[in-house]
Amino acid sequence: MGPYTPLKRAGITEAPSAPQSSGSITLHKNGAEHPSVATALNNLGTLRHQLRDLNDAERLLTRALSIREKKLGKNHPDVAETMSNLAMVKKEKREYKKQKNRTLGLAQSVKPHMVARIIPRLPL
């Protein structure tokens, strides 16, 4: 039994593709660089990760991170959340060392009450 068995038990073996997701609705309404688009991409990337589609998860999370950094600033807690999600994907792809260091660096600059939200999820 792996860590993602609840999805499998529920019969979920595939996530919708990006154009079929809520992200496309958000994209149409708000534009490609809106923070709500980044949230949709982050959520879909997390789902793809849980379904073991690591390449698509990395692509979606990287795009979400780019939007969030541009629109919210590099020290925003949502940026840290996406970095953490991306670090977990990269860990599974064995490419996480650089992302982990970047995420830990950001965690030190975020408000202390937000660190508890970020650090427990980091794949150390």
pLDDT in tens, 8-17: 554 556 655 5
How far apart (Å, rounded) are the C-alpha atoms in residues 118 and 106?
Answer: 10
How far apart (Å, rounded) are the C-alpha atoms in residues 36 and 120?
Answer: 25
Nearest to 23 by CA among 43, 7, 48: 43
State the pLDDT at residue 2.
Answer: 44
How is the chain split into domains, by residue range?
17-121
pLDDT in tens, 88-115: 998 888 765 566 666 666 666 666 656 5
Measured from the Cβ of residue 7, the count of other Cβ atoms closer than 10 Å reads 16
CATH of 17-121, one of 1.20.1050.10, 3.30.930.10, 1.25.40.10, 1.10.12.10: 1.25.40.10
State the pLDDT at residue 91.
Answer: 85
Quickly state the pLDDT bin for 120 (edges 50, 70, 90). Answer: low
Measured from the Cβ of residue 111, the count of other Cβ atoms closer than 10 Å reads 8
Find the mean pLDDT for residues 20-28.
53
